[in-house]
A and B are shown apart, each in its own frame.
Chain A
């Protein structure tokens, strides 16, 4: 049998060793996988290859809501080169659904599709084109059903139920079965407080559906194993969460599904949910051959969840001396056809809806809908991003109505350490909101109207429209805008959030070497760089080997919620400390009688030696370890959190808060509606920068994703058909290097005493305030209200819808 001679597939990740730096935490050491990534040798999940592998293809629904009356696979099965065609009836286990929190998502459609692009059938063939053509020959008869596309159609008296007979843990408290989850937060008395207000502003805001647009497509390789199990190589954000969802629908015990993280080409939330994992395993187990699935970009737009589009209704009041009296809001998030991360997005949107401000009297409600729109779930900053866009617009409106400077108004109301959140949680570590705003405002502005000073030398590439050569400065107006945001770090609301690290310390070729083994998904953020730094700091070694991430070690939790440096970094630190204690114990046994300091002094591992805290060398670590290896695997948890009360929203729900501020400078060609973002300056508190090069890279990348939402990014769903109209990089635009301005970054390091090394999760915060800062700048340039993302040329010229 072929299985018995099966070899390791090409592209299987191997240990990566870094041994040319002594850099510990706080140093900008370079990526251990850097060389592999610049030579093209780093294997991503789409690069996996096996000798006799087949290609899998997914057939997806062409309509958004329909009954499936018939599926005819006969022509597809008959095609030469086709090895298998699977539909719902072929699913092997009793469990046929999966999901992050609510198992409502069918592996393959069961007689009904709920959104455009839902998987209906699978094909395995010997060439990807054969698989595509075979899938196209599967005939499906759809009987279309009425659509749910927004709040009105979801909650109408005769609304079709997207999921009938719900029995999930939110179904008991939601006011309608087409609401996934509802979280109110009531604190103080907003109606009473409103009476004290001298000014009141109301606003209605619309946030468009954003795509993560990671560049590495959903892909992976499933290899059937001799024991009836499967080896799966895949790009994901959380191996163990995938495993919990995959094994039951395959009808396999978890230990027979062995997962290894393949190279991940970006994630940004879009790989929290299952995509091709189960499908590839099903085809591999059915055919007995390795099966590779790689989505193209068109399919990728259907293959993962998106950022929730939202409608946000806000009311704020303020006294004439500029103190905010109260806030009322309702946030309606469209979760689409399946729950995905919607409940957590609701929790974030409601608990962070007030922004980084002191407001004692609030009346908040956030809901996520079930609809026939594309499923929405995790994307960088979820829930907080949508809210920030709205409350920051409100801050500018309030300041304008009071005749105050928008930055001074924000500073006057800014939260700080000790502030009580609307949930009743006390912010118990630094919250330098006013200082972040001060810093971005104090930065010198880029020179105005450079094209005038440059005369004939003026570079059209610096103007709105760029090389389209649409203006030489005529009709171009500058605007400046500010915004600041608040995001939570880590998994909230009582979730048992932990990470696991295994560390092995031994002597190889006379040198002490630390091997770090975790299941953390390195998706580009640089976790592997930081793990090596932590091991060097804690164990005093130079050589660190990063073991591939897999399910042979305990869960690391998700690479999301800005949590991995805190959580898996914390786990590596924690395990290293245990390993160090064992190494010192070993040293005491071997050498303790040679020097009294072994018994009395605080001992450290530095530069490959055991030293006293006074710096005296007691032994070479290599001698201590000679003939022995220390190998530890330990779990690490952050402090526990609480669920939010379902009526009042009270509870210590979050682990840590993180803050960033932006100042945007834009130039707008007001005649053509073209926007050039000239500069997007930012300041952020990161608690402690473990690697400044990586920190700045994260902040600039997050800022740019926020810029994209402001001026170009939106998945357009036809309101009449609920079909996606722009599933390609031709029609869904993300910022190019020409669209992206200079991004000066100012990093504060105010330690959080509760966190490892005092660090603060940082990946998401820059994505929050970037969008409203750009919007504010465009409003300042044009005087328009602009309550919707993205701003398109027709919104500025008034010439279109």
Chain B
């Protein structure tokens, strides 16, 4: 079958999709977007978390056909999505940035840096930068899903308590960090967000 949907603000079309394929498979293997990860493929680990019409979902549990005509944001589009939210929808967001790019956002765009030390160069969302700065990334396999989930938390709750953070991220397994630095990263992103307002 053919599936049409919007990914990170761009219309996409996938052909010859077998009905049993998941959204995760189509993103990874058919669209060249392997950022969403395949740790369990059974909805337990959260590493494949994407936004589907704004709602965080495990893309491994979404049949590709269910995405027809809908909007998906993956980790690859997270920086643009966050920038668009700041520019066009302060305090909120549209599902995919599909409502257009503002002049400010277009001016701010630049190539992504090769170096983890350089957040100020732009190209990263606040939560992505905070994960690097706080040491929340080790092997990094859980990171894309956690970033999408944490970004969604901060979108709806700018000042989450530790208990709020734990609850919001409880569907995302991490085997490396013991979660302490992931908590640090979300706190850091929230604090920076507050400073910026």
Contact = CB atoms under 8 A, between A and B. Distances in A.
A294 B38 contact: yes
Interface in A148-202: none
Contacts of B163: 459, 461-462
Interface stretch (B27-35, B64-72, B84-92, B102-110): B27-35
Contacts of A461: 163, 166-167
By secondary structure, the A interface counts as loop
Given A40-B75, A738-B166, A28 B113 contact: no
A696 B176 CA distance: 11
B137 to A, nearest CB: 5
Contacts, number: 214
B34 A43 contact: yes
Given A129-B20, A461-B163, A39 B75 contact: yes
A428 to B, nearest CB: 32
A701 interface: yes
B132 to A, nearest CB: 4
A306 to B, nearest CB: 14
B147 A38 contact: yes
B138 interface: yes
A21 B117 contact: yes
Is chain B's interface secondary structure helix, strand, loop, or mixed overall? Answer: loop
A214 B139 contact: yes
A728 B42 contact: yes
A17 interface: yes
Given A217-B38, A737-B166, A35 B141 contact: no
A34 B35 contact: no
Contacts of B169: 737
Interface string A691-730: 0011011001111110000000000000000000000111
A40 B28 contact: no
Interface in B126-179: 128-129, 131-133, 135, 137-144, 147, 163, 165-167, 169-179
B21 to A, nearest CB: 8
A41 interface: yes
A700 B181 contact: yes
Given A129-B18, A297-B39, A738-B170, A524 B140 contact: yes
A459 B47 CA distance: 28
Interface string B2-21: 00000000000000001011
Which of A21, A35, A459, A742: most chain B Cβ within 10 A?
A: A35
Contacts of A533: none
Interface string A251-266: 0000000000001111
A40 B182 CA distance: 17
B143 A37 contact: yes
B37 A729 contact: no
A636 interface: no
A697 B179 contact: no
B129 to A, nearest CB: 8
A32 B35 CA distance: 18
A11 interface: yes
A19 interface: yes
Interface string A475-488: 00000000000000
Interface in A21-58: 21, 28-44, 46-47, 49
A612 interface: no
B183 interface: yes
A738 B168 CA distance: 10
A40 B135 contact: no
Contacts of A40: 33-36, 74-76, 144
A736 to B, nearest CB: 5
A734 B46 CA distance: 13
Interface of A: 10-11, 16-21, 28-44, 46-47, 49, 127, 129, 212-217, 263-268, 294, 296-297, 459, 461-462, 467, 523-526, 693-694, 696-697, 700-705, 728-730, 734, 736-738, 740, 742-743
Given A37-B143, A40-B74, A737-B166, 17 more contacts: A19-B115, A20-B115, A20-B117, A38-B124, A44-B37, A46-B34, A49-B29, A216-B39, A296-B42, A297-B44, A524-B140, A526-B138, A701-B175, A729-B173, A736-B172, A737-B174, A738-B167
Interface of B: 18, 20-21, 28-29, 32-42, 44-45, 47, 74-76, 78-79, 112-118, 123-124, 128-129, 131-133, 135, 137-144, 147, 163, 165-167, 169-183
5 contacts: A18-B116, A213-B175, A215-B37, A266-B139, A705-B175
